[in-house]
Amino acid sequence: GEDVEQSLFLSVREGDSSVINCTYTDSSSTYLYWYKQEPGAGLQLLTYIFSNMDMKQDQRLTVLLNKKDKHLSLRIADTQTGDSAIYFCAETATGANNLFFGTGTRLTVIP
Amino acid sequence: DTGVSQNPRHKITKRGQNVTFRCDPISEHNRLYWYRQTLGQGPEFLTYFQNEAQLEKSRLLSDRFSAERPKGSFSTLEIQRTEQGDSAMYLCASSSPRGSETQYFGPGTRLLVL
């Protein structure tokens, strides 16, 4: 079955860059997604990348995709305290319509 | 507000009671999904609708769970004879079949079964 793995915790100082990593199993995923979840809230879509791309940049966010290693990363430049949240990567599996999520990485930004 | 909405936001019930949650998707989205999220985990897929047709159900969706989308717009998720293990956040998402098929999530309904 599909397995999406993420490290559980990341702490960075305000103003530094954060890099959140994810590995996935389904090499035929068409899109890969990053969502942000604040305490007690639903999931907010941050960005997504099409599988034939290596990189996508959107303001402070940079997504890197290494299809050979099935590795996805999210870099947040100039991390702010408001970026403290749980970040989930997700993939769609072959023939499925639903998303498969990792366990999430809790990002803590230290002022 | 044109996002996905869910009601109620919180529900506390006693074991054995039935509960029903509602999801209103983004208006032009014909695809609707239900997920369950337990503490410390990522969301897990429960079921998927395209218009009014329920096309996929996860094995997590036991026979105590039923979901409907009668007119292809809003959806309801009912849990009968609730158990303490049903305590979780229930998330609804919707998507359009065009473009990136990105799923947009509602704020969730947090269920606590006592």
Query: Average pLDDT by consecutive 10-residue portion of chain B (114 residues)?
Result: 89 98 94 94 94 90 93 95 96 86 93 97
What's the mean pLDDT in A7-17? 96
Between vectors from CA B35 to CA A97 and to CA B97, what angle results, nearest 5°? 30
Task: Write out chain B residues lying below 8 Å of A90, CB-based.
Answer: 42
Q: Is the confidence at residue A40, as pLDDT, over 90? A: no
Question: What is the pLDDT confidence band of residue A17, given thresholds at 50, 70 and 90?
Answer: very high
Task: Write out chain B residues lying below 8 Å of A35, CB-based.
Answer: 105
Mutate to test the interface with B, among A36, A98, A103, A106 (most CBs of B within 10 A): A98
Name the phi and psi angles at A99, rounded to 5. -95, 145
Q: According to the model, what pLDDT value does residue B101 have?
A: 78
> What's chain A's length in residues?
111
Question: What is the pLDDT confidence band of residue A10, given thresholds at 50, 70 and 90?
Answer: very high
Question: What is the pLDDT confidence band of residue A64, given thresholds at 50, 70 and 90?
Answer: very high
CB A33 within 8 A of CB A24: no
Q: Beta B10-13 vs B5-7: how paired, if at all?
A: unpaired
Q: According to the model, what pLDDT value does residue A26 have?
A: 75
Output the average pLDDT for chain B: 93
Q: According to the model, what pLDDT value does residue A94 have?
A: 65
Give Cα A44 to chain centroid, integer Å. 12
A7 touching chain B per CB within 8 A: no
Question: What is the pLDDT confidence band of residue A20, given thresholds at 50, 70 and 90?
Answer: very high
List, in order, residues 6 or more apart from B59 with CB less than 8 Å away.
none
Nearest CA in chain B to A99: B45
